[in-house]
Structure 1
Amino acid sequence: MLRLVVLFAGLLAVQGQTTNVQRCTGRAAQNAPLPINAYVEGCINPPCQLPVGTFATVHLVFKAPRTMTRMTTRAQAFLIFAIDYPLGEFAETCNFLNNSFCPVMKDEVLEYTLQMKIEEAFPVGVSPHVEFRIEDDANEPITCIRVRIMVAPPLPQLTAA
């Protein structure tokens, strides 16, 4: 019963905020399930406009398929070929769980927030698919989403008068 309440609360927290994502196709996670919900802040229908110099914020709600002590988030961009994108401290999934902490129990519904810096080196106008996947200690995929982004120009700087 408690798990049902937690699941319901998690779904209410992101109700009305869902981004249309796809199942991953990259070799590392093509069989990984989609999460219960995925939301890229500010984006319902991709391509998601992500300005250079900002952080893309991705919220995922997913169910733990087994008890796990550690999880890692990985990102890959797909242009002509797959390019791994380092997430730095944000790769430590357990540090960014909103409603739990590691170890997580089998069937626990988890709310997770990822932030990814849109680096100044990203060429404006490119529109790759990006896959975000969460893996366990054995590098087995837990969940994965694929979403098209559009790298947008930097936001204008406000100047003091």
Structure 2
Amino acid sequence: MLRLAVLFAGLLAVQGQTTNVQRCTGRGSNGDLPINAYLEGCENPPCRLPQGSFATIHLVFKAPRKMMRMTTYAQAFLLGIGVPDYPLGEFAETCNFLSNSFCPVMEDEVLQYTLKMEIDGFPTIPVTVEFRIEDDADQSIMCIRVPINIVSS
């Protein structure tokens, strides 16, 4: 019952705050879409992100199985061509940024996760970024694709 109350409170907190994201097409594209995704300040992509700032993405998703740990990856696509994963540093450790749970997570547990990504080193042109979460067996759990425009700060 407590989990249901936490889920309901979390969904109320993000109600009306949703970014229109797409299903991934790159590596790891077999991950599900989340229950909700919100890139702060953006509802309808392409999202404008200033160079030198942080993008904050709130995700609500269901754990497909019991998992000991999870890792987040970001990959940019320039003109449709994928480039190597963008380093997320400490933010790649998904379990450290869950707000309603901790690892290990149980199967069917609804998780609230916040990812911060520094917008640095991207060219000031339109790009598409895929954010994916993988479990400790390198299996995709969740993946979203969102077009962004990096702008000068």
Query: What range describes the TM-score normalised by the shorter chain of this pair?
Result: over 0.9
The CA RMSD measured in Å over matched residues stands at: 1.1
Question: Are the counterparts in 2 of residues 6 and 109 from structure 1 also a CA contact under 8 Å?
Answer: no
Question: Are the counterparts in 2 of residues 68 and 104 from structure 1 also a CA contact under 8 Å?
Answer: yes
Letter in 2 for 1:105: M
Structure 1 position 12 matched with structure 2 position 17: no
TM-superposition CA deviations, 1:8-56 (whole Å, max 9, x none): 2221111110000000111x22221100000000000001100000000
Matched with 1:58 is 57
What is the CA–CA distance in structure 2 between the aligned matches of 1:6 and 1:63, rounded to whole Å? 14
What is the CA–CA distance in structure 1 between the aligned matches of 2:47 and 2:33, rounded to whole Å? 18
Letter in 2 for 1:150: N
Q: TM-score, normalised by structure 1?
A: 0.90
Spell out the pairing of 1:55-134 with structure 2 (5 A cutoff).
55-80=54-79, 81-83=81-83, 84-119=85-120, 121-124=121-124, 126-134=125-133
* C-alpha displacement of 1:134: 0.5
Rg larger in 1 or in 2?
1
TM-superposition CA deviations, 1:87-124 (whole Å, max 9, x none): 011000000001111111111110000000011x3222
Question: Are the counterparts in 1 of residues 6 and 100 from structure 2 also a CA contact under 8 Å?
Answer: no
SS at match of 1:85: coil
Letter in 1 for 2:139: E
What is the CA–CA distance in structure 1 between the aligned matches of 2:35 and 2:28, rounded to whole Å? 17
SS at match of 1:128: strand
Q: In structure 1, list runs of 5 or more residues that go unmatched.
A: 155-161
TM-superposition CA deviations, 1:116-149 (whole Å, max 9, x none): 0011x3222x111100000000110111100000
Number of matched pairs: 151
Q: In structure 2, list runs of 5 or more residues that go unmatched.
A: none
Matched with 1:151 is 150
SS at match of 1:65: coil
Identity of matched residues, %: 73
